[in-house]
Amino acid sequence: MANFILIVFLLFIILVCWLIFSGWLLICSLLVVVVFAVLIWNYSDKAILYLLGAREIMSTAEPEFFKEATQQAYKLNLQAPSLYFYDGSFQRAFVLQNGDNVSLVISRSLLTEAQKSEFGAICFSLLLQAKKNLAASRTKGMFILGLTSWLVHGLGNILGKLIPSPHGKEVIGLIVNYFLHPWLKVNFHLFIGHRYFKKLSTHLERFPQENEELTKFYLRLRYPEDIHSNLSRRLMELFSGKRSLHYQNILSLELLPHEWDYYQQYQEGLSDKEVARV
């Protein structure tokens, strides 16, 4: 779906350029479209790392995480992934894939708070998406949404500086985030949707031991209602306009639907006895 929408979008842009421009303007606009297409299909993972402000993790810095990532990649017959961390507001981890290149990106808070036994479950759930050829399309979708967020926030910042009021930037930030985040979520469902998470859950069911470890991890990761509720998230979206552009862009990617949220909602249906047993 992500590739199909991208192709349709690029063809539409080419048609618009052909109808509106001519001469050198047409050539320049088509070159921009070509550069954009090359960036999507060849460097979308690198672009997301840039948007997250991710930094590479060395094996000596986080030996447990590096060890588990290598072991889980070997178990799934994949090349050892590159490991990165970023500073975020949520305990998140992402898998980025572009061809044979696979990268695992984890938030600093999760990297420091995760237990040793949980690194294997985290790496397995991420690398399984690359093994089943799911991560590549999600990477493209995240790149488009991340780039959109970066452009909109950048434009909002410029408009805020042009307004003479000292609170102009803050007002523009509130308005931008109020409309931007719901639009990003709608497009995420269009690009990927819950069908992605359902496919992943189907694949995980074939690995009962790893699935049980993931269940333990998801149950421990469950956030208190006052922190992880939709209302608190909405407030974070609104008032992130007061923060830096870098923070706003990271938050936009973190607040996109995540497989861990999907599993947490699923686990809410467990009885107290089942939760205690897990």
Query: What confidence tens digit (pLDDT) does each residue in 134-163 have?
Result: 888 888 888 888 888 888 888 888 887 777
The answer to whether residue 103 scores a pLDDT higher than 90 is: yes
* Prediction pTM value: 0.80
Q: What element of type H or E holds 105?
A: strand 101-107
Angstrom distance (rounded) from CA 35 to CA 146 = 17
- Considering the chain, what is the average pLDDT of its residues? 81
Q: What share of the chain is helix, strand, coil (3-state, %, to 5)?
A: 75, 5, 20
Structure tokens at 254: 């973190």
**Rounded Cα gap, residues 79 and 91, in angstroms:** 25
Contact 160, 171 (CB under 8 A): yes
Which has the closest alpha carbon to 248: 187, 143, 157, 183? Answer: 157
Cα separation, 267 vs 63, in Å, equals: 31
User: In whole angstroms, how large is the CA radius of gyration of the chain?
Assistant: 20
- Write the pLDDT tens digit of every residue in 81-98: 999 999 988 888 999 998
Residue ranges per domain, the chain? 135-277
pLDDT bin (cut points 50, 70, 90) of residue 107 is: very high
pLDDT tens digits for 156-178?
Answer: 888 877 777 777 777 888 888 88
Q: Which residues of 188-222 are buried (b: 16+ CB within 10 A; e: fewer)?
A: beebbeeebbeebbebbeebeebbebbbebbbebe
Q: Locate tokens 């109808």: which residue?
A: 19
Predicted confidence (pLDDT) per residue in 191-234, tens digit: 888 888 888 888 888 888 888 888 888 777 765 544 456 667 77
